[in-house]
């Protein structure tokens, strides 16, 4: 069954690259008008390039999710310019850029930006759009978490902790918005070949003696063999497919859930 979101509007935060960009394109392919939101000025080019290539309707907002007042302005502008907003996907995220094993390899100051983007950015977006979705009596929010938010990955403790908090916040939001018919869920990607994952490798490699340092291909292949039962990378498009499904009527009774797209990385027995 093909998912049809024609006539609906989706906003994807962190849409200039990686998983966020794939999600934006996935919603477009399902027929939605998509607003790409990112702090990078390239987001307008990315949205325009996809519009020219596909012929589908897109919009773009250059905005930093760490600015709560700016998120309220984006919400007002989106409802004014697009007429409606039905779905939000929060895919903005950063890592500390350091290898955090043991955790005291990092300084307390290394946590600040990670928490401001990965957690408080989502809170700002939810505060800006949540009441408007509740008033409309429809819609969905999807937070992009991480398996590291479930298992306490030691490679980047600030990132892991922020994603654990994001999962919890999504459940709080799901309860609050359910009476209004708005659904909130979290998708946890596993091993995805994105710039963020490569930065984890680079942080690890910087701590290793040159003689024993693995290259990216060897390091990542070994990690997948060891940790992922299906034995392969997850693609950004895999996350996009789940995000589109969760926004669709087929998921009308799914809210407050944390769904892993991880090749079996995390299994709860």
Catalytic residue among 36, 50, 90, 159: 159
Selection from 149, 47, 45, 168 nearest residue 95 by Cα:
149
Distance, in Å, from the CA atom of 242 to the CA atom of 4, rounded to the nearest integer, reads 14
Residue with tokens 């490679």: 155
Counted residue by residue, the chain has a size of: 269
**CA–CA distance, 235 with 262 (Å, rounded to integer):** 10
Rounded CA separation 12/149 (Å): 21
| Ranges assigned E (strand) in 100-235 | 140-144, 183-189
Active site residue 159: yes
Asked if 201 and 214 count as a contact pair (C-beta separation under 8 A), the reply is: no
Sheet containing 87-90, strands listed edge to edge, beginning at the edge strand earlier in sequence: 58-62, 33-38, 9-13, 87-90, 140-144, 183-189, 258-261
Transcribe 112-141 into DSSP letters: HHHHIIIIIHHHHHHHHHHHHHHHHT--EE
Q: Which of the residues are catalytic? A: 159
């Amino acid at each position: 069954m093909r998912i049809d979101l024609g006539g609906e509007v989706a906003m994807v935060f962190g849409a200039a690259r990686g998983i966020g960009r794939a999600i934006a394109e996935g919603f477009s392919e399902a027929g939605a008008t998509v607003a790409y939101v990112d702090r990078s000025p390239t987001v307008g080019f990315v949205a325009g390039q996809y519009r020219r290539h596909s012929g589908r309707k897109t919009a773009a907002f250059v905005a930093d999710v760490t600015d709560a007042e700016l998120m309220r302005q984006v919400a007002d502008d989106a409802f004014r310019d697009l007429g409606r907003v039905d779905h939000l996907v929060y895919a903005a995220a950063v890592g500390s850029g350091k290898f955090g094993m043991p955790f005291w390899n990092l300084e307390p100051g290394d946590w600040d930006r990670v928490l401001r983007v990965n957690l408080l950015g989502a809170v700002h977006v939810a505060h800006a759009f949540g009441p408007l979705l509740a008033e409309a009596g429809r819609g969905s929010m999807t937070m992009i978490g991480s398996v590291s938010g479930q298992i306490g990955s030691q490679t980047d403790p600030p990132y892991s902790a922020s994603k654990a908090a994001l999962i919890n916040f999504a459940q709080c939001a799901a309860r609050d918005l359910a009476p209004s018919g708005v659904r909130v869920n979290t998708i946890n990607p596993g091993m995805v070949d994105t710039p963020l994952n490569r930065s984890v490798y680079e942080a690890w490699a910087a701590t290793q003696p040159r003689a024993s340092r693995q290259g990216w291909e060897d390091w990542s292949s070994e990690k997948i063999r060891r940790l992922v039962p299906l034995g392969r990378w997850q693609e950004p498009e895999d996350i996009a497919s789940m995000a589109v499904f969760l926004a669709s009527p087929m998921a009308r009774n799914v809210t407050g859930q944390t769904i892993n797209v991880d090749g079996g990385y995390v299994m709860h027995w």
